[in-house]
Amino acid sequence: MGGYQMDLERANDLRFESTNAPDGLYVVSKSSEYEPHAEFLLPSIYPEKTTIKDAFEVNCKEFNETFTKGDIISVSNNRKKILGVLSNNAKQNTLLVTERCDNLCSFCSQPPNNNPDTHLYINAAYSIINFNTESVIGITGGEPLLDKEKFLTFLDILNKAGNTTPLHILTNGRSFSDLDFCNEVVKKASNRDILWGIPLHGHNHELHDKCVSMPGAFVETMQGLMNLSYAGQKIELRTVVTKDNYKNLKNISELANSSFPYIFTHAIMNLEPKGWAKRNFNELYISVVKQMPYISDCVKNNNLKSLKSMLFNYPLCQTPFDLRDHYYKSISDWKNYYPAFCNKCKVKNDCGGFFASSVGDYLNVIKVEVEV
Amino acid sequence: MTNYTHLPFNFKGLQDDNYLVSNLAGQHQHLSKLDFENLVHSKYDQIKHKSLDSLESKHFIAPKNEAKMRESIITSKLALRIQSSLIRPTLFMVVPTLRCDHDCHYCQVSRVTENKKGYDLEEKHIAGILDHIEFLSDKHIKIEFQGGEPLLNFNFIRNFFDTAKIKLKGKHIEFVIATALGPINNEMLEWIELNNIHLSVSFDGPEHIHSNNRPSKKFNSYENTVDNIRLIKKHFKGIDVSLLSTITKQSLKHPKQIVDSYLELGTKNLFIRPLSPYGFATDTWGALGYSANEFMSFYKELIAYIQELPQDIIEHSALFHLNRIFSQATSYVDLKSPAGIVFGAMCFDYNGNIFGSDESRMLWTSTKADELIIGHISDEPKNTYTKPNLIALLRDTFVEVNPGCNDCVYSQFCGADPVHHLATQGDLIGHKARSFFCQIETQMFDFIFSEYYLNNQTRKMFDGWLSNGS
């Protein structure tokens, strides 16, 4: 079962010896005390023999080191694998609800397809309800709001179960250009804290539409941002920095500041060489050294307007000192990489390093840049 | 080349062939003369690339097919800015007495002498005032005791404070006493420190200015003020003292000495205010007053001197303007549209009258123009703030549509001051070409924008103030 993502300290994908559980989602239970959620319950799965009615058992070597009580896992009998879906050990849990998308960003790390997605929305809702955490869970796609009905149903299911888990939802915001839909979502979102991560890659339709390879996207995203921000929702603006837009970062910040009542944060993100970003790397990647003066202009302008900037996916050594307040060690441990020259570095522990998702040319570029 | 169109904007020439444009979204942009002319004549392809991008980001121009979306952004921003000015008052001024131990020539409140009877606010009104404050306020408020010299009715202050603590429990209240420190003694200071009350002290600078502006029959007013500030700084370190200076004709030649006198008292926060035409100041304007030009040349010298000095000094009047420009702050009651009357400040006078601003009560004291009175402390709060007097005072204070303001490049950052115009011209809007308020503010904005965009050194200092001092 693909599509779930977790930032785990260690592998969350285990091979099992045997199980009596059919394919599907389960709540990890480790003692007979476990009481499942009254409504919308998922079946329990135990790493030992159990006599509890309707519960399943699995025989798996590293189960106890990997999963804790209350985690949500998925069982695949074909591959004889257990996959962690939501884990208490994870620093950040993220659920994918669709792979469909109406933008075609040249730097997409998870290129879209037309696969069926109803089960993904339902599974995500059930996982969140059964996990029942007050820590933030990320919702990603595809474009989670492309199918408006499914997204509203997703919120309905959560609300009906009385769930209040805070969500960080990544969306291109275009669906919010429909004011009725926006108001509907805002109404259904009222009993939880939601941070909407919405990309703005250009300060006009020419640039933004080029980045997302979709004519008309800019105007819809801007209208969506308007509707959502005036409805008082919390918005994280996201800009992926490429050769196309790095000189316009300050203009993007200016546009946001002159257009919306309140933006919670502005995330400025270096390319993750994965998916299409890897394929288009040479056309897209602009050296971090060249980005930094423009990032600095953008951050200064944000500071002046009291908008908080956050830098994601950058090596610390290439981040100037006056920007380090905005630095986030964002590349998770399981997908980062420190080239050999990092070993002498005094700030290695504070640094996210580099994405391990690419080798060869990409790392050569980085290596030259850092050593020079 | 993108097919651009321009959206509405105001403009003004700054010094040395520079231009400033601003729009209803609250944005501004500095342009060279060439870029400005190209903008005006729709020669977009000849505008410098950097300026063009910036003009587009700030909704001065838009690709034709984005124009409709941009228009809705501008109108929403305008609505938002007006809405965020319609706030509950956060500053509540209470006048425990109009009596004073100083005889300032410019006294804007028309104080009475120290022993005169009938000019104290009676303690029986405390409950009523607190009813009004409770009815009007949000969680965070400031209560400021004004005078006269409020410490001459110290018992009232103590009782008011104690009652407020009980009655307004749950609110965060910052208490301030605006005082010249005449009657202060150790017992008062201990109580003030214990209760974390701030002092706002009038300090006009070196002795020959301060004592001349603010004489007292009882003592040398300069020595009294300075000695007491030193005493507080030495023995009552917990008391937060801020100083403010009213500028008179006598001050104009001495900007450096005024800055030095702040530094001698260990204070790096300056607050420089021009004289206001209320109270005694209307009669003494000939002797104490000056033109906006004269004030601004003084002010520019003062800012230049601050820059020469090694200390990090902040001048708060400029900082209020900077905050208004860059974060559209609505916290400074003088720079608000609609005006900050009730939407910002309130004043409870010694005789129980309620005013929407300190200036209203100043003007009432000297003119007895009853239309300035919003109500009386004994009125039911819920019936007080919908009366015609208040509506009449506020009705014409949307600067975006005031004649003389509607086409001003600074209208997005400035404010309406109806009481000033009532005092000086007899009507609430006033003819801006003859308005001292307009002259001072226009020149202040001229100065701040010119310095910010044409002088790197000042810009650095202003940026520092914005990031630390606000």
Cβ pair A254:B58 closer than 8 A: yes
By 3-state DSSP, what share of chain A in percent is helix, strand and coil, each rounded to 5? 35, 20, 45
Cis previous bond, A142, omega within 30: yes
Half-sphere exposure of B453 (CA within 13 A, CB side): 19
> How confident is the model at residue A1, as a pLDDT?
35
Give the angle A59-A65-A67 at the CA atoms, nearest 5°: 75
Separation in Å, CA of A233 to nearest CA in chain B: 15
Q: How far is it, in rounded angstroms, from Cα B403 to Cα B406?
A: 6
- State which residue of chain B sits closest to A217, comparing Cα positions: B66
Q: Is B431 left (phi over 0), alpha (psi -120 to 50) or beta?
A: beta
Q: Which of A258, A261, A303 is the closest to B27 by Cβ?
A: A258
Residue B59 at interface with chain A, using a CB cutoff of 8 Å:
yes
Cβ pair B77:A205 closer than 8 A: no
Q: Which of B25, B66, B467 is the closest to A219 by Cβ?
A: B66
Residues of A in contact with B54 (CB under 8 A): 251, 254
> How confident is the model at residue A263, as a pLDDT?
94
* Residue A164, beta-bridge partner list: none
Q: What are phi and psi of B14, to 5 degrees?
A: -100, -175
User: What is the residue-level pLDDT of chain A in tens, covering all 372 positions?
Assistant: 344 555 554 567 899 999 999 999 999 987 666 555 566 788 899 988 888 878 899 999 889 888 999 999 999 999 999 999 999 988 889 999 999 999 999 999 889 999 999 999 999 999 999 999 999 999 999 999 999 999 999 999 999 999 999 999 999 999 999 999 999 999 999 989 999 999 999 999 999 999 999 999 999 999 999 999 999 999 999 999 999 999 999 999 999 999 999 899 999 999 988 889 888 888 999 989 999 999 999 999 998 888 999 999 998 888 999 999 999 887 766 677 787 778 888 888 888 888 776 556 666 666 666 654
Q: Which of A203, A230, A303 is the closest to B56 by Cβ?
A: A203
Pairing outcome for strands A72-76 and A24-28: antiparallel
Q: How far is it, in rounded angstroms, from Cα A229 to Cα B435?
A: 39
Tens digit of pLDDT for each residue in B194-250?
999 999 999 999 999 999 999 999 999 999 999 999 999 999 999 999 999 999 999
Q: Taking an 8 Å Cβ-Cβ cutoff, which residues of chain A contact chain B?
A: 203-206, 218-219, 222-223, 226, 230, 248, 251-252, 254-255, 258-259, 261, 303-306
Residue B58 at interface with chain A, using a CB cutoff of 8 Å:
yes
Average pLDDT over residues B450-469: 91
Tens digit of pLDDT for each residue in B347-402?
999 999 999 999 999 999 989 999 999 999 999 999 999 889 899 999 999 999 99
Cβ pair B58:A258 closer than 8 A: yes
Look-up: residue for tokens 């009532």? B422
Cβ pair A304:B26 closer than 8 A: no
Cβ pair A226:B76 closer than 8 A: yes
Cβ pair A219:B59 closer than 8 A: no
Residues of B in contact with A209 (CB under 8 A): none
The residue with greater pLDDT, B188 or B279, is B188
Q: How far is it, in rounded angstroms, from Cα A39 to Cα B241?
A: 61
Q: What is the largest CA-CA distance in chain A?
A: 65
Separation in Å, CA of A250 to nearest CA in chain B: 9
ipTM metric: 0.84
Residue B293 at interface with chain A, using a CB cutoff of 8 Å:
no
Cβ proximity of A270 and A284 under 8 Å: no
Neighbours of B454 (CB within 10 A): 14
Element (H, E) at B174: strand B172-179
Q: Which of A223, A255, A304 is the closest to B57 by Cβ?
A: A255
Q: How far is it, in rounded angstroms, from Cα A265 to Cα B425?
A: 47
- Domains of chain B and any CATH numbers: 4-84 (no CATH), 88-383 (3.20.20.70)
Q: Which of A252, A254, A305 is the closest to B326 by Cβ?
A: A305
Separation in Å, CA of B230 to nearest CA in chain A: 36
Residues of A in contact with B27 (CB under 8 A): 258
Tens digit of pLDDT for each residue in B392-427?
999 999 999 999 999 999 999 999 999 999 999 999
Cβ pair B73:A226 closer than 8 A: yes
* Residue A26, beta-bridge partner list: A73
Tens digit of pLDDT for each residue in B62-100?
999 999 999 999 999 999 999 988 989 999 999 999 999
> How confident is the model at residue A343, as a pLDDT?
83
Separation in Å, CA of A277 to nearest CA in chain B: 27
Residues of B in contact with A255 (CB under 8 A): 56-58
- State which residue of chain B sits closest to A257, comparing Cα positions: B58
Separation in Å, CA of B65 to nearest CA in chain A: 9
Q: How far is it, in rounded angstroms, from Cα B52 to Cα B63?
A: 11
Cβ proximity of B190 and B197 under 8 Å: no
Look-up: residue for tokens 């121009």? B61
> How confident is the model at residue A203, as a pLDDT?
95
pTM for the structure as a whole: 0.88
Q: How far is it, in rounded angstroms, from Cα A106 to Cα A124?
A: 27
**Is pLDDT above 80 for B431?**
yes
Cβ pair A259:B467 closer than 8 A: no
B258: pLDDT confidence band, cut at 50, 70 and 90? very high
Point out the least confidently predicted range of A289-298, B1-10, B181-190, B252-261: B1-10
* Residue A94, beta-bridge partner list: A5, A138
Residue B79 at interface with chain A, using a CB cutoff of 8 Å:
no
> How confident is the model at residue B468, as a pLDDT?
76
- How far, CA to CA in Å, does B39 sit from each of A138, A276, A305, B73, B263? 45, 40, 26, 21, 47
- State which residue of chain A sits closest to B324, comparing Cα positions: A305
Residue B453 at interface with chain A, using a CB cutoff of 8 Å:
no
Half-sphere exposure of A152 (CA within 13 A, CB side): 13
- Enter the tokens of residue B134: 């409770």
Please report how the helices B456-468 and B292-308 are oriented relative to each other, as an axis angle in degrees rounded to 10. Answer: 80
Interface A-B: count of C-beta contacts within 8 A: 60
Q: What are phi and psi of A137, to 5 degrees?
A: -115, 135
Cβ pair A258:B63 closer than 8 A: no
Q: Which of B56, B69, B467 is the closest to A222 by Cβ?
A: B69
Cβ proximity of B148 and B112 under 8 Å: yes
- State which residue of chain A sits closest to B465, comparing Cα positions: A304
User: Best of A200, A251, A326 to disrupt the B interface by mutation (most B CBs within 10 Å)?
Assistant: A251
Q: Which of B54, B62, B80 is the closest to A254 by Cβ?
A: B54
**Strand locations in chain A (E):** 4-7, 13-15, 18-19, 24-28, 44-46, 56-59, 72-76, 81-86, 92-96, 137-140, 167-170, 194-199, 234-240, 265-269, 308-312, 336-337, 354-355
Cis previous bond, B148, omega within 30: yes
Residue type, A339: P
Tens digit of pLDDT for each residue in B131-181?
999 999 999 999 999 989 999 999 999 999 999 999 999 999 999 999 999
Q: What are phi and psi of B363, to 5 degrees?
A: -70, -35
Q: How far is it, in rounded angstroms, from Cα B193 to Cα B183?
A: 16
- State which residue of chain B sits closest to A226, comparing Cα positions: B73
User: Best of A254, A300, A322 to disrupt the B interface by mutation (most B CBs within 10 Å)?
Assistant: A254
**Is pLDDT above 70 for B126?**
yes
Cβ pair A254:B77 closer than 8 A: no
Q: What are phi and psi of A340, to 5 degrees?
A: -55, -35
> How confident is the model at residue A364, as a pLDDT?
64
Q: Which of B54, B69, B467 is the closest to A219 by Cβ?
A: B69
Cβ pair A205:B463 closer than 8 A: no
Q: Which of A248, A251, A304 is the closest to B326 by Cβ?
A: A304
Query: What does the DSSP 8-state code read for residue B139?
Result: S
Q: Is B249 left (phi over 0), alpha (psi -120 to 50) or beta?
A: alpha
- How far, CA to CA in Å, does B467 sit from each of A173, A217, A295, A306, B326? 32, 35, 18, 9, 11
Sequence-distant (6+) residues with CB within 8 A of A116 are: none
Cβ proximity of B354 and B346 under 8 Å: yes
